[in-house]
Amino acid sequence: MDLGHGIKALQEAGMNQTTLTWNEGRWCLCVHATNDPDYQSKKFPNSMQLTKDVVTYLNSHMLPAPKNVGVMIFVSIPAAMR
């Protein structure tokens, strides 16, 4: 799946959830969101919008180089569940 800025992600879906995973340098990034409209965040109704926002942000904000591999996981949770 093309995320823009020359970055591609692997999309996995099942059990009413979607996960997008991609690499940037030695970083592994993952966005996880529900597909159930009753539990979706209003700002990020699906994992694709949150993922594209993260990729756009990281295009202008450098991450520090991890010693081996760095991992970031983003989970879209509606305000009502926080």
Residue showing tokens 């700002």: 43
Mean pLDDT of the chain: 86
Decide if 55 contacts 74 (C-beta within 8 A).
no
Query: In this predicted structure, what is the pLDDT of residue 43?
Result: 77
Residue 79 predicted with pLDDT over 60:
no
- Condensed to tens digits (0 to 9), the pLDDT of residues 46-70 reads 778 888 889 999 999 989 999 999 9
Whether the model clears a pTM of 0.75, i.e. scores above it, the answer is yes
| Domain count for the chain | 1
Q: Which domain holds residue 26?
A: 2-81
Q: Is 77 helix (H, G, I), strand (E, B) or coil?
A: coil
